[in-house]
A and B are shown apart, each in its own frame.
With several copies, the nearest count.
Chain A
């Protein structure tokens, strides 16, 4: 089986689906001839031609708007927003149009499309190349929100997203494009090739939307995470020697609540980890649900490990990023009570 990093896996998902479905059209800033600033769309224009793979004007609003029109026409847009930090000019079209179209037309017009965008910190990208705005999309009924954490999942989830009848916002944790970052920024970079989930089958396969993965089984507590934080969480519980169950959500909406409930009912303790700012982040939604549903199983408050409620400050990358120390403190807290 080929070994791929996350970029290659995402690239492969494009190729596999585009070969099977002529209606898939890919566009975005710099994604054509050049193949995208992160190279996810490399080689696509060459293989599929200019009318299926092309550069777009620097207009995230326009990109989403024409995607709406294309979906209405009947082709399937698979677009890239260069950084999640730049998705806001497209927010109106996403919230008011993409998300609500099926509903407001009683199912007459649907919006199958995928909006891919790299998100998250850990790359010294400063305030406008580090944001994690996923929570802002989970509040919008009609959108699905997906975040992979490995090359295997990246390909399988992206194929699912492309084949899904609903619009999917697909956030790619850019810090782990090239290797599974565990939060120890002072240690040598690990490549994906050493990780089992870098074995990516050729051709078509899916990882279903709405299904979390229990990436580590345990009895002592449940850790909920997604994206880069899955790896940070795994490393942290290993280092603490905790018998933790770690769940990679993979899809934020619709959420795999069963897997979460089953786990928390078993462990009685829950820690949630995300990079995004704390207030009104998706971790709050998870905490709200866990305490609603598992209240009588909980032995301690549900804890949240998050980014701070500040913009992402360039030089303070590692003081902002919810790394091993923040994880450790929170793990101690959730276990102590």
Chain B
């Protein structure tokens, strides 16, 4: 009863704090045999107009299309034509080559920082393929694939990475923090999570104006812990916003595994259940599944049937960034042992299984992509690399703080120019 004497629970167990630990640490041999991976095709596909609750069983399953036999076997099969598949494959190969070249550039001291998306190429590219050209993305730094899928010039990306004279962001942003309105790619923020509710706001604007363009927001597994994640789901649910909200669960957030973001107790897709939002959990290394799920959610949004949260389940195959060495916190061979495979390889083998591709064509295409990336790099480096920057155009530092330069910034500009010329 009330005011019970605490001594009554003299025998209560001592409370204990559970601190999640990843299954494997450096020195361990990763064993993923315990991981339940539903067979491709085992997941049903609700109608895009279905009540959100009908999708909720999918939050603990895994939408997969590419089967072990490399055939598409699923009600989710998007039945894409071979040209589309080849375009996706090519974009994915381009991203991987691009990542490798730019990583190397950073190592050569040509810029300060770089981030790869290795192992996650099947996420941004098919997702973008499923959206329309003028839908708006609110990406994180690991969705470079969106730009490549939309044909943003590689040289523009590199100019940004080098902060060089061609950089439309005027040398102001850390490498890879791209922005391009014309390609429907919102400015990447260094502040995790901020873009997720912004995507909802953009789509609210579209809904207010009776537009037909939708928004897609992106966030990592780790960043789902930010308050902004909750803002996004709350506003999306309240106003039934035409937005697709994607969590890229690559199982790591720098050195923290997804358990530190709550992944031990529920999937990230399940978060949606509590808001009454539709929810899908998808094999993020399966380009067809990613396409199909994004397509489903975009159709749902576009028909005013509401938002969808999609978890793309994948694995961050390399370090967090050029500042990170993952061998300090996880086994070095974990990436290779990751059972959902290499997304590029899976799509390639599927195309081969369809009779629409072969190793020679793949090698030729890869060589073409490599050439294109190298050519772009050459062109971009003509416009300069980071160590050469920051001397010219000092007056531009004071532009764009406001629409006009107020007196105090004009004064500071004078000072800065004086310094530069002294």
Binding site for B on A (CB under 8 A): 25, 29-30, 32-34, 37, 50-52, 54-62, 65-75, 85-86, 88-89, 92-93, 96-97, 101-110, 124-129, 141-142, 144, 164-166, 210, 253-255, 257, 278-279, 308-311, 313-320, 325-326, 328-329
Least CB separation from A34: chain B residue: B255
Determine if A89 and B177 form an interchain contact, defined as CB atoms under 8 angstroms apart: no
The 6 closest A-B pairs by CB, nearest first: A69-B201, A128-B190, A73-B205, A315-B171, A126-B174, A66-B201
What chain A residues lie within 8 Å of B202 (beta carbons)? 69-70, 72-73
Determine if B179 and A59 form an interchain contact, defined as CB atoms under 8 angstroms apart: no
What chain A residues lie within 8 Å of B225 (beta carbons)? 57-59, 62
What chain B residues lie within 8 Å of A309 (beta carbons)? 401, 408-409, 412
Which listed segment binds A: B38-46, B49-57, B77-85, B191-199? B191-199
With contacts A86-B191, A108-B181 taken as known, whether A69 is within 8 angstroms of B204 at the C-beta atoms is yes
Binding site for A on B (CB under 8 A): 16-17, 19, 21, 25, 112-113, 136, 138, 163, 167-175, 177, 179-181, 186-187, 189-194, 196-209, 215, 222-223, 225-228, 230-232, 234-235, 238, 253-256, 260-262, 323, 328-329, 386, 389-391, 394, 397-403, 406-409, 412, 415-416, 418-420, 422
Determine if A97 and B191 form an interchain contact, defined as CB atoms under 8 angstroms apart: yes
Determine if A55 and B256 form an interchain contact, defined as CB atoms under 8 angstroms apart: yes
Least CB separation from A68: chain B residue: B198
What chain A residues lie within 8 Å of B409 (beta carbons)? 308-310
Please give the distance in Å from A91's CB to the nearest CB on chain B. Answer: 11
What chain A residues lie within 8 Å of B173 (beta carbons)? 104, 126-127, 314
Instruction: Beyond the given A62-B197, A254-B407, A313-B397, please list 12 additional residue pairs across the A-B interface where CB-CB is below 8 A.
Output: A33-B329, A54-B19, A56-B235, A58-B256, A65-B194, A70-B202, A125-B112, A165-B403, A166-B402, A278-B412, A310-B401, A315-B390
What chain A residues lie within 8 Å of B204 (beta carbons)? 66, 69-70, 73
Contact sample, A vs B, 25 pairs, CB 8 Å cutoff: A25-B205, A30-B255, A37-B323, A50-B19, A58-B226, A58-B253, A59-B226, A62-B227, A66-B204, A70-B204, A73-B201, A89-B227, A97-B194, A105-B169, A126-B174, A128-B174, A141-B401, A309-B408, A309-B409, A311-B172, A313-B171, A314-B171, A316-B397, A319-B416, A328-B422
Whole-angstrom CA separation of A57 from B222 in the bound complex = 7
With contacts A59-B225, A72-B198, A75-B208 taken as known, whether A319 is within 8 angstroms of B390 at the C-beta atoms is yes
Whole-angstrom CA separation of A215 from B255 in the bound complex = 39
Q: Which of A60, A73, A106, A126 touches B168 (beta carbons < 8 Å)?
A: A106
Determine if B234 and A129 form an interchain contact, defined as CB atoms under 8 angstroms apart: no
Least CB separation from A289: chain B residue: B408
With contacts A25-B208, A318-B390 taken as known, whether A106 is within 8 angstroms of B172 at the C-beta atoms is yes
Whole-angstrom CA separation of A78 from B419 in the bound complex = 40
Determine if B205 and A315 form an interchain contact, defined as CB atoms under 8 angstroms apart: no
Residue pairs across A and B with CB atoms within 8 Å: the count is: 292
Determine if B254 and A109 form an interchain contact, defined as CB atoms under 8 angstroms apart: no
Whole-angstrom CA separation of A278 from B228 in the bound complex = 30
Please give the distance in Å from A330's CB to the nearest CB on chain B. Answer: 9
What chain B residues lie within 8 Å of A66 (beta carbons)? 197-198, 200-201, 204, 231, 235
Whole-angstrom CA separation of A85 from B254 in the bound complex = 17
Please give the distance in Å from A176's CB to the nearest CB on chain B. Answer: 18
Q: Which of A50, A69, A316 touches B199 (beta carbons < 8 Å)?
A: A69
Determine if A144 and B255 form an interchain contact, defined as CB atoms under 8 angstroms apart: no
What chain A residues lie within 8 Å of B389 (beta carbons)? 315-316
Determine if B19 and A61 form an interchain contact, defined as CB atoms under 8 angstroms apart: no
With contacts A33-B25, A58-B225, A166-B402 taken as known, whether A308 is within 8 angstroms of B397 at the C-beta atoms is yes
Least CB separation from B229: chain A residue: A59
Please give the distance in Å from B236's CB to the nearest CB on chain A. Answer: 10
Please give the distance in Å from A246's CB to the nearest CB on chain B. Answer: 21
With contacts A257-B407, A317-B390 taken as known, whether A59 is within 8 angstroms of B399 at the C-beta atoms is no
Whole-angstrom CA separation of A102 from B386 in the bound complex = 22
What chain B residues lie within 8 Å of A319 (beta carbons)? 390-391, 394, 397, 416, 419-420
Q: Which of A30, A86, A310 touches B256 (beta carbons < 8 Å)?
A: A30
What chain A residues lie within 8 Å of B400 (beta carbons)? 102-103, 105-107
Whole-angstrom CA separation of A110 from B404 in the bound complex = 12
Determine if B138 and A69 form an interchain contact, defined as CB atoms under 8 angstroms apart: yes
Whole-angstrom CA separation of A89 from B225 in the bound complex = 11
Please give the distance in Å from A195's CB to the nearest CB on chain B. Answer: 25
What chain B residues lie within 8 Å of A96 (beta carbons)? 189-191, 194
Whole-angstrom CA separation of A328 from B418 in the bound complex = 12
Whole-angstrom CA separation of A74 from B179 in the bound complex = 16
Determine if B234 and A57 form an interchain contact, defined as CB atoms under 8 angstroms apart: yes
Whole-angstrom CA separation of A279 from B408 in the bound complex = 9
Please give the distance in Å from B19's CB to the nearest CB on chain A. Answer: 4
What chain B residues lie within 8 Å of A311 (beta carbons)? 172, 401
Determine if A69 and B189 form an interchain contact, defined as CB atoms under 8 angstroms apart: no
Interface centre among A97, A210, A329 (most CB of B within 10 A): A97
What chain A residues lie within 8 Å of B179 (beta carbons)? 104-106, 108-109
With contacts A69-B198, A142-B402 taken as known, whether A126 is within 8 angstroms of B190 at the C-beta atoms is yes
What chain A residues lie within 8 Å of B328 (beta carbons)? 34
Please give the distance in Å from B334's CB to the nearest CB on chain A. Answer: 15
Determine if A51 and B17 form an interchain contact, defined as CB atoms under 8 angstroms apart: yes
Least CB separation from A36: chain B residue: B255
Determine if B192 and A316 form an interchain contact, defined as CB atoms under 8 angstroms apart: no
Least CB separation from B138: chain A residue: A69
Please give the distance in Å from B358's CB to the nearest CB on chain A. Answer: 42
Interface centre among A69, A129, A164, A314 (most CB of B within 10 A): A69
